[in-house]
Amino acid sequence: MKSAFTLFWFFLCAFPALVLGAQPPIPGPPELPVKGYVLIDFNSGKTLAEMNADERLEPASLTKIMTAYTVFRELAGGKIQLTDQVLISEKSWRTGGSKMFVEVGKQVSVEDLLKGMIIQSGNDAAVALAEHVAGSVESFADLMNAHAKRLGMTASHFTNPNGLPDPDLYTTARDMARVTLALIAEFPQYYAWYKSLDFTYNKITQPNRNPLLKRDPTADGVKTGYTKAAGYCLIGSAKRDDMRLVSVVMGSASPNARAEASLALLNYGFRFYESHVLYPVGQPIETLRAWGGNLEKLPVGPGSTVAAIIPRGTYDQLSAHIEKTSDFRAPIASGAQVGDVVVMQGDDEIMRVPLVALEELAQGNLWQQARDSVLQLF
């Protein structure tokens, strides 16, 4: 028979978990039969699970994510238009692999070529877009690599727009996640095409090759890829409530294996984590006393979006505060860092984002400067 002390000690140890609802630890991510994978929260950019995420691998048609991103940047810069008519070259027409079935000598709009590449995975469409944007596949590859460098894709190199095998064409699961996150964030109007179930061109209707669109109603992208050397690859994305996850699976043994692996990662992330945007970039979160300037109160806010990915059920443990670098004395440029936004989970600091001035604090007139000098003495 247990002593009263033993029972008391058991109750004392169990009390925090029973009464305070202590969360069990998050289990390890699923073990998947692939060459490499990564799972990332869109809001915060945090990695939730990974395996060989930085190993150099062949991307196959995942390359077309970078191709689309490069074309979208050209559209955003006004250098090309969706309505541009692209003359189909023999090089584009002869490109092997998956096809949109463009015809040599015909003119096709940039919008149709993008949809043919995104939805039908047309290698011919990718070449036509590359030639229209940069004049040649080689010059377009230079653009791709410039964008990859800017995005921090340090382990990637692109030599063509469609992912057909080339010894100098390589990437990593993490790098492919980077460009996918950028594409979704910068071009939501075009990203909507990735959830289209089919596309018809030249009286030929072809289905979207992404199996997640039919297996998960919350999935809305992104891209499949396959070559014999690369294996079966899939970038998936799904949004449930306000939480979006991006998964990259590379080197699966079959189409079904890559779909199952992608679903396993997405379900793992949604099951055990929750994502919250605490403060959007540029949102005023406080106005602070400014000295010697043309303003008495200076609005400040985060220099980048403050988003937290936390174990599910622990939102009430979050708190945030600001830490100023010094008193606010003019002049201060708009966008200048004046401190940090610090996010805590319980007693642990989990994030620190620059706090910036949201307006310019110009030098005040002589009266304002003199007044503030006197006020600061008190």
> Which ranges constitute the DSSP H helices of the chain?
4-20, 63-76, 90-94, 110-118, 123-134, 137-150, 173-186, 188-191, 212-215, 255-272, 366-377
Each domain of the chain, given as residue ranges in start order, spans: 36-272, 280-369
pLDDT, tens only, 284-325:
999 988 777 788 888 999 999 999 999 999 999 999 999 998
Query: 47-76: per-residue pLDDT in tens?
Result: 999 999 999 999 999 999 999 999 999 999
Residue 91 φ then ψ, to 5°: -60, -45
Residues with catalytic roles: 61, 64, 121
Please tell me the pTM assigned to this model: 0.88
Strands 328-329 and 286-291: parallel
What average pLDDT score do residues 223-248 get? 97
Tokens, residue 312: 């599910």
CATH class of 36-272: alpha beta
- In sequence order, the 6+-apart residues with CB closer than 8 A to the CB of 283 are 301, 302
What is the mean pLDDT of the segment spanning 198-227? 97
CATH number of 280-369: 2.60.410.10
For residues 30 and 192, what is the distance between their CA atoms, to the nearest angstrom?
29
pLDDT tens, 109-138?
999 999 999 999 999 999 999 999 999 999
Query: Is 91 labeled as ligand-binding?
Result: no
Mean pLDDT of 161-168: 97
Reply yes or no on whether the pLDDT at 14 is more than 90.
Answer: no
Residue 141, pLDDT score = 98
**pLDDT per residue as tens digits for the range 82-107:** 999 999 999 999 999 999 999 999 99
342 pairs with which residues across the strands? 321, 352
